[in-house]
Amino acid sequence: MTSEYLTNWLYVWAFIVSGGVLVVLILLIAKLVNPDHLSTGKVLHYECGIPPTGSPWSPFAIRYYVIALLFLVFDVEAVFLFPWTLAFRTLGTAGFVEMMLFILVLVWGLVYAWRKGALEWA
């Protein structure tokens, strides 16, 4: 092995170790600076001034999860569409056809979710 190769790995390990030391140092400083005075208001589930009533384990509508997943799917679509638009001219016909298939699958999923009523709030 050449000395340049070992020097490069030494730099990598130096950055890893210094990053770890920095994380531990920041956590220690935060622990020392942070006042640790627990009051009854801080221990409550809600810190809005109103005492909580009932059980915190209440049923949660699955509709919110479906909406979140749909948002995530279309957010990922936007992430894939942006670089595609930047490299549109270099990709040629194959890149265009592949992206149209990708968009077609997403539109098909949107239509399916719409017909199943997943986008209805009430």
Which residue from 99, 106, 104, 107 is spatially nearest to 80, judged by alpha carbons?
99
Q: How do residues 38-58 score in pLDDT, each as one tens digit?
A: 777 666 666 566 666 777 777
In a domain? residue 22:
yes
Domain count, the chain: 2
- When the pLDDT of each residue in the chain is averaged and rounded to a whole number, the result is 84
Q: How do residues 45-102 score in pLDDT, each as one tens digit?
A: 665 666 667 777 777 778 888 888 888 888 888 888 888 888 888 888 998 999 899 8
Looking at the fold, whether 65 and 122 belong to one and the same domain comes out as yes
Tokens of 7: 């020097």
Looking at the fold, whether 68 and 14 belong to one and the same domain comes out as no
- Is residue 1 within 8 A of residue 10, CB to CB? The reply is no
In a domain? residue 120:
yes
In a domain? residue 51:
no
In a domain? residue 53:
no
Query: Range of 20's domain?
Result: 1-33
Looking at the fold, whether 77 and 113 belong to one and the same domain comes out as yes
Alpha-carbon distance of 110 to 119, in angstroms, equals: 9
pTM score, whole prediction: 0.48
- Is residue 77 within 8 A of residue 105, CB to CB? The reply is no
